[in-house]
Structure 1
Amino acid sequence: MELGMIGLGRMGANMAERLVRGGHVAVGFDPTPAARELAASKGILPVSSLAELVDQLPAPRVLWLMVPAGQIVEDTLAQLVPLLSRDDVVIDGGNSFYKDSMRRADMMSLHGIHYIDSGTSGGVWGLAEGYSLMLGGDAGAVERLRPILSTLAPASDRGWGRVGPSGSGHFTKMVHNGIEYGMMQAYAEGFAIMQGKQDFALDLHQVAEIWREGSVVRSWLLDLTSNALGGNPSLAGIAPYVDDSGEGRWTVAEAIDLNVSAPVITLSLLERLRSREDDSFADKLLAAMRNEFGGHRTKQQP
């Protein structure tokens, strides 16, 4: 098949390259000339505008957006709609909020354009390992994409599927990322406990390697944890600051709206926020309270 990839960053360029390796034709657009030049070296056909991208593709067209969620998606769609034709398919493979995807699907349907929301997982490893794809939208439109999806996924019959109507793909990915927050936090806390047991002088990389085989806590995240510890056992040079890209917040908000208890995901999100406090007022107040009720000495800040 032929596909237009909009956004040639790490994810978009790698996905387009995987499609090219699988025998498809990928035409790519990115506003950054360097990204287009790099894409060309991987067999992707670069173009310098959205209009040129649309012109290069036979109708009905398939376009895949791999751009940051939010206003950039809105602006890209506003530019695309006048250029597209009925029965074209636009896939948003980024981490858009699922309610935005539902609204956009309704808007695009007014123009006869199919809008598919694809929760996409795989990160920088997707080029080699394949991508996990959770798709929401019209079943017939998704079926048309089968050759592309089969190539992007780890296997033609595994790792991808239509999960429901418009919005469900991004909703599923949102929850997926919330679960990821909790799993990452549990690993981080467990390894921190072991690191703190100085009497045993544990080799954390060795422990991770042992756990990778046969243990009930083995996972791809543990594989990546082992890689990190193997390359930098003391994590030297890494600041204790953990960012978040929004999906954890959305998952917690949705849990509250649905009256679903999600303490692990919620606390893992709060821990990420906690990591960003260079001068924690809360910690200072905790120390002051201990001093007030128990006479526990406070430490002076240097």
Structure 2
Amino acid sequence: MQIGMIGLGKMGGNMAERLRRGGHDVVGYDRDPAVSDVGSLADLVERLEAPRAVWVMVPAGEPTRATISQLRDLLSPGDLIIDGGNSHYKDDQVHAADLAEKGIGFVDVGVSGGIWGLENGYALMVGGAAEDVRRLDPIFVTLRPAGQDGFVHAGPVGAGHFAKMVHNGIEYGMMQAFAEGWELLEASDVVTDVPGAFASWRHGTVIRSWLLDLMVRALEQDPDLSELKGYAEDSGEGRWTVQAAVDHAVPLPAITAALYARFTSRQADSPSMKMIAALRNQFGGHAVASVEGQTGKGADAPGADVAPPREVQH
């Protein structure tokens, strides 16, 4: 089938290429004229035959909202917009209601697969009316992994991005668990081949996964991760997952802790950890590191201002 693709970056560009390889007619638009097939959104719409299908693959938030707003004024009744970015599911519901006033359909698609999707295919989590989803089936068949599942019509508009949001929250928790396990192995003087330990888990264990494969690959490239900073951004979906959990009164301790760990990673000298160190010093007399990196006096050290309580348990 014919489809317009807006946003030809790492994800959108590879998706457009996979669709072309599958025999589809893809008309792509990007702000970078070097990769764009047309000069504007209006040109894109003009190139497509009605009823049109346009896939929006730009950053979530205002860029997506602005693009959909422009398309609303350019498209005609019977046309269809697909939002394949990481938009919030409530935004989807607003877009669908607004577009419906002009007779334009809307489908939201959570896409997972990253830069590997061009060759391996993409997992697709779809929300929208059944007739709209059926109309896009040729596109979905080509994008998803060949001969495998990797696809779900999760429910009405918003369901696709809600499912992808939860998927990314789970991903946060899994990544955090692997990272903590790596740190503990590195801190131990018992295990001398940490990369080898992770590599051995790739076969026959219950934690084998693509994430584990990627972790082993990262350790092959940089065995002690000395080339990286201990900083991890969050895409926003981890926050939305935790907020949705609060709204639905569903406990998510692992995912929430993983999100907070990313916040901690952005602090060169975590204030909360300073307070933990200070409190431990007060009740237990632990040695603490000063700003200059020197060991300070514990609560029971000679010259300390406050005497430690007796028989402290911690």
Same fold by TM (over 0.5)? Answer: yes
The corresponding residue for 2:154 is 163
The corresponding residue for 2:19 is 19
Distance 2:52 2:214 in 1: 37
Task: Classify 1:120/1:19 alpha carbon distance in 2 versus 1 (closer, same or farther; 3 Å).
Answer: same
Gaps spanning 5+ residues in structure 2: where?
A: 293-314
Distance 2:257 2:246 in 1: 13
CA offset at residue 157 of structure 1? 5.8
Q: Assess if the C-alpha contact under 8 Å between 1:136 and 1:162 holds in 2.
A: yes
Q: 2:237 aligns with which of 223, 247, 256?
A: 247
The corresponding residue for 2:218 is 228
Q: Aligned with 1:60: secondary structure?
A: coil
Greater shift, 214-223 or 155-164, is seen at 155-164
Distance 1:156 1:56 in 2: 32
**Corresponding letter in the other structure for 1:223:** D
**Corresponding letter in the other structure for 1:147:** P
Q: Decide which structure has the larger Cα Rg and report it.
A: 2
Greater shift, 232-241 or 191-200, is seen at 191-200
Distance 1:130 1:201 in 2: 37
CA offset at residue 298 of structure 1? 2.2
Gaps spanning 5+ residues in structure 1: where?
A: 37-45
How far does the alpha carbon of each residue in 1:204-231 deviate from its partner, in whole angstroms, 9 at most, with x for none? Answer: 3322222111111001101111110111
**Corresponding letter in the other structure for 2:91:** D
The corresponding residue for 2:3 is 3
CA offset at residue 104 of structure 1? 0.6
CA offset at residue 156 of structure 1? 5.9
The corresponding residue for 1:195 is 186
Matched, 1:292 2:282: yes
Q: TM-score, normalised by structure 1?
A: 0.94
Matched, 1:96 2:72: no
Q: 1:86 aligns with which of 77, 85, 107?
A: 77
The corresponding residue for 1:213 is 203
The corresponding residue for 2:301 is none
Q: Assess if the C-alpha contact under 8 Å between 1:9 and 1:35 holds in 2.
A: no
- Give the number of equivalent residue pairs: 292
CA offset at residue 293 of structure 1? 2.1
Matched, 1:278 2:268: yes
Q: Aligned with 2:235: secondary structure?
A: coil
Q: Assess if the C-alpha contact under 8 Å between 1:208 and 1:226 holds in 2.
A: yes
Distance 1:208 1:25 in 2: 43
Q: Aligned with 2:82: secondary structure?
A: strand
The corresponding residue for 1:174 is 165
Distance 2:65 2:135 in 1: 25
CA offset at residue 28 of structure 1? 0.5
Matched, 1:54 2:35: no
Q: How does 1:94-133 map to 2 (within 5 A)?
A: 94-133=85-124
Which is richer in helix? 1
CA offset at residue 200 of structure 1? 2.8
Q: TM-score, normalised by structure 2?
A: 0.90
**Corresponding letter in the other structure for 1:163:** A
Distance 2:214 2:129 in 1: 35
Distance 1:258 1:241 in 2: 30
Distance 1:137 1:156 in 2: 24
The corresponding residue for 1:183 is 174
Distance 1:287 1:205 in 2: 31
Q: Assess if the C-alpha contact under 8 Å between 1:150 and 1:157 holds in 2.
A: no
Q: Assess if the C-alpha contact under 8 Å between 1:150 and 1:156 holds in 2.
A: no
Q: Assess if the C-alpha contact under 8 Å between 1:6 and 1:66 holds in 2.
A: yes
**Corresponding letter in the other structure for 2:22:** G
Q: Aligned with 1:28: secondary structure?
A: strand
Q: 1:74 aligns with which of 56, 61, 65?
A: 65
